[in-house]
Amino acid sequence: MRYHLAGNIPPKRHTIFKSPEDKFYYEQLFGTEGFHGISSLLYHIHRPTQIKSIGEPKDVTPKIAVEKNVAPRMFKGMNVTPEDDFMDSRKILLMNNDLKMGLAKPRKSMDYFYKNAECDELLYVHQGTGILKTFIGDLEFVTGDYLIIPRGTIYQVELGSDDTVFFVLESHSPIYTPKRYRNEFGQLLEHSPFCERDIIAPVFKEPVDEKGEFLIKVKKENQITDFIYATHPFDVVGWDGYFYPYKFNIKNFEPITGRIHQPPPVHQNFEGHNFVVCSFCARMYDYHPLAVPAPYNHSNIDSDEVLFYTEGDFMSRNHIDLMDFTLHPGGIVHGPHPGAMERSIGKKFTEEYAVMVDPFRPLKITEEALKVEDPSYKTSWLE
């Protein structure tokens, strides 16, 4: 992340700041990891603490169907059921103590506000357009955008259509870009597959100065609780810092290629505690005269591997549809389907796009996942 400033702020932090009408603005430190992690300072028209009521919590704990999995599996995302409500549409398919992931197919825009109070969120836009509205500004999104939403962000999603699909990842740790691509000052290095210009901060909007009753659904410890606040949460007159939601489009990722097949870490886009997120993008294939472009068989001893197929034709897999998830558990050898290696030889480029998540702790499989599983996948390598 890099420093960003928008709106009006005082010249010195933690000092008196007033409106032209001589009314106090109220400062809020917005950050994670105590007072050690990256943060921003927000300035509100009203105190952001004015709770009018708190409802009964609603339990949304995913129901685990398979606690310990050793089988390769495929889940047909096309068959995940859409829902009108944004939060109801989130179907968690895979999870462990570090993260949850799945699909969301909301059909209606949010008429309330939402805050995840314990997890950073990654929403990958598989299809659709809309606006992510936050308390520090708006991010218009299109197909292919990653929306990175730090925990504690209050937001709404306004949909451009009723067939939007998000790949959803919730992380119990902050989501960062890879540290190995940054120098000691935090700047992205020349060999990084993306640069600061590709990371888009919210467009600042004029603050909303309204009193009344404003519903913010707060998620924490697998419960969603309705908070009614006395003032509109988007009343920020200005902010600055390093901690904010942003977007990054997968087609701005510049693939790293070589004479022979490159390992998956060259595709890394994000990381959290005990997991990485990679972007597989359209790219030139390996250019050694005897190169085999298809990936080699590998075991992933220390991590599970999840691939979400989002665009194009995938040369290493047979019978893969867009929106499918494949899961290959750590320690079990996997590789191209029969014929895929042979088909790849001599090919010059690929137009495929996929999101890969490698968790370093085994994933558990939910009941929602089993509803859309293709049970034939585990034996699909037989010749």
HEC readout, 17-59: CECCCCCECEEEEEECCCCCCCEEEEEECCCCCCEEEECCCEE
**Phi then psi for 170, rounded to 5 degrees?**
-110, 130
DSSP SS3 for 367: helix
Strands 211-220 and 113-116, sheet pairing: parallel
Kind plus residue range of the DSSP H or E element containing 340: helix 340-344
- In sequence order, which residues have a C-beta less than 8 Å from that of residue 21 and are 6 or more positions away? none
Q: Is 304 annotated as a binding residue?
A: yes
At residue 248, φ and ψ (nearest 5 deg) are -145, 125
At 285, give phi and psi (nearest 5°). Answer: -80, 175
**Known active-site residue 261:** yes
- Please tell me which residue in 4, 191, 261, 267 is annotated as part of the active site: 261
CA distance 259 to 284: 10
C-beta atoms surrounding 345 within 10 Å: 12
DSSP 326: E
Q: How many CA atoms lie within 13 A of 107 on its CB side?
A: 4
Of the candidates 123, 116, 115, 119, the residue with the CA atom closest to the CA atom of residue 139: 123
Q: What residues have CB less than 8 Å from 61, skipping those under 6 apart? A: 222
Q: Is the dihedral of CA 169, 119, 224, 47 positive or negative?
A: negative
pTM, full prediction: 0.95
84 is in an annotated binding site: no
**What pLDDT tens digit does each residue of the chain (383 aa) get?**
789 999 999 999 999 999 999 999 999 999 988 888 899 999 999 999 999 999 999 999 999 999 999 999 999 999 999 999 999 999 999 999 999 999 999 999 999 999 999 999 999 999 999 999 999 999 999 999 999 999 999 999 999 999 999 999 999 999 999 999 999 999 999 999 999 999 999 999 999 999 999 999 999 999 999 999 999 999 999 999 999 999 999 999 999 999 998 988 999 999 999 999 999 998 988 999 999 988 889 888 889 999 999 998 776 677 789 999 999 999 999 999 998 888 889 888 888 999 999 999 999 999 999 999 999 999 999 98
Q: Find out whether 46 is annotated in a ligand binding site.
A: no
Strand partners, 165: 127
CA–CA separation, 36 vs 119, rounded Å?
A: 17
Q: How far is CA 329 from the centre of its chain?
A: 21
C-alpha–C-alpha distance, residues 174 and 33, integer Å: 9
Dihedral of alpha carbons 157, 161, 162, 166, sign: negative
Question: Cβ contacts of residue 379 below 8 Å, gap of 6+?
Answer: none
pLDDT digit string, tens, across residues 311-322: 987 766 777 899
What pLDDT is attached to residue 316?
Answer: 65
Give the whole-angstrom CA distance, residue 266 versus residue 248. 17
Look at residue 203 and give its three-state secondary structure: strand
Nearest Cα neighbor of 38 from 196, 194, 206, 152 is: 152
Are 363 and 306 in contact, with CB atoms under 8 Å apart? yes
CB-based contacts of 129, cutoff 8 Å, min separation 6:
140, 141, 142, 143, 159, 160, 161, 164
Q: How far apart are CA 240 and CA 235, in angstroms?
A: 15
CB atoms within 10 A of CB 181: 17
Task: Tell me the per-residue pLDDT of 200-242, one tens digit each, with 9 for 90 and over.
Answer: 999 999 999 999 999 999 999 999 999 999 999 999 999 999 9
